[in-house]
Structure 1
């Protein structure tokens, strides 16, 4: 029986990750703006989940995104492992490093989800650095893997697309962090009648602040598009679980069974 294209193979993982994470950002943005907790003009993504009740929604939904991202990156690891038929040492190394980097990215996502900037700023910033920093590294690693698997398992167009998305994400990250430092420095030199969630055009550092927030949104969208490039590969990928029962060993050693 023919199914829908998004149910083919394991493609539901990157699709689910992209759709769910997008829904998370849109939902908390709408909630935060309607409640007046942030300004509508390009707040930071995590700022939309800083106040209750949107922080609860943001945390729960982003935790699911972290689970989906880890699942996607693990399947990608096993997929590349199977594709590496020549047992290339370079591909094997890039793939293993990519798995650990992906794990750090997912951990960072849970930190961003559960430690809001307004409550535990240091942990939140560590999480953001892991998500975006390790996210760029992961993209670089698997772009390199794609080129090494060309032409057997990756087209040149796909390799170039992943390289372009990686470049956009890396550039956006540099701009986001650089302009954020400039904006925060200018903000700190003046007193304000409102908090950082309500930047106004007349505030010192407003221009670099907006440049930083826009860059963060671009960076997040770039990462989601990168995972979407996995969809064609995942449509042709299946995984089987091997279950081994050690019942005889258990029955000999467990007093509850004997």
Structure 2
């Protein structure tokens, strides 16, 4: 159940404790740490190159693969929880204002869930061990993740001014367009290169395609991260409450 938050007396409440704000805040910090920490570990162990490795490359070799898998799984479940909270919030807005189609809201949540499942595949199946499953999960994550941001941007404009500010709506639209434009070279160049290796030299065949694909992958991924950052304003406006109904047994 979604309920609107009450303003704390004297404004003493810390901002990230207002409403459900802690959820997207944790997601942004944790997901960013997931990619950065695994990259640093892989770099210190010289398992990847300094310049633009694939994100998956930074989690391909132990021990960073263990860190990457653990943190990515938590990221996926936190993203699911955040998407569910946003879905319930938009659903409540529709009940009060009729501004957003329930079908659009359900479609957005559905593709978001598929994207989270794709991330679980990426976290569980490393590219150097089960490449086919890893690539399938990565495609799910990116394609459905981009679709989620686009649908949520549409929802933001339709729910304005009850949800986010106009500025946030524009910023979400910018991030969704950026992710949409970056995801195509990410997939196309990766498929064209075909091979998966952790170390590249500038003289290698398809080196340029690799760099373009890796750069666009990082852009797409952090477009997702910053997109969830825009949820903070909305999540300060409501709380979720679980209602337990016990069955009567004779």
Fold-level match, TM-score > 0.5? yes
Q: Please, which of 90, 93, 97 is the counterpart of residue 86 of structure 1?
A: 97
Instruction: Name the structure 2 match of 1:119.
Output: 129
* Corresponding pairs, count: 239
- Report the TM-score when normalising by structure 1: 0.88
Structure possessing the higher radius of gyration over alpha carbons: 1
Alignment partner of 1:21 is 2:9: no
Unaligned stretches of 5+ residues in structure 1: 188-194, 253-258
Query: CA-atom RMSD, angstroms?
Result: 1.5
Instruction: Name the structure 1 match of 2:53.
Output: 43
Written as runs of structure 1 = structure 2, the 5 A alignment for 1:1-258 is: 2-84=12-94, 85-87=96-98, 91-184=101-194, 196-246=197-247, 248-249=248-249, 252=250
Instruction: Name the structure 2 match of 1:192.
Output: none
**Secondary structure of the residue that 1:42 maps to in structure 2?**
coil
- Report the TM-score when normalising by structure 2: 0.91
Unaligned stretches of 5+ residues in structure 2: 1-8
**Secondary structure of the residue that 1:197 maps to in structure 2?**
coil
* Distance in 1 separating the partners of 2:154 and 2:243: 31
**Secondary structure of the residue that 1:238 maps to in structure 2?**
strand
What per-residue deviation string (whole Å, max 9, x for no partner) do you get for residues 19-54 of structure 1?
101111111111111112111111000110001111
Structure having greater relative contact order (Cα 8 Å, sep ≥ 6)? 2
What per-residue deviation string (whole Å, max 9, x for no partner) do you get for residues 5-31 of structure 1?
112111111111111011111111111
* Distance in 1 separating the partners of 2:20 and 2:106: 20
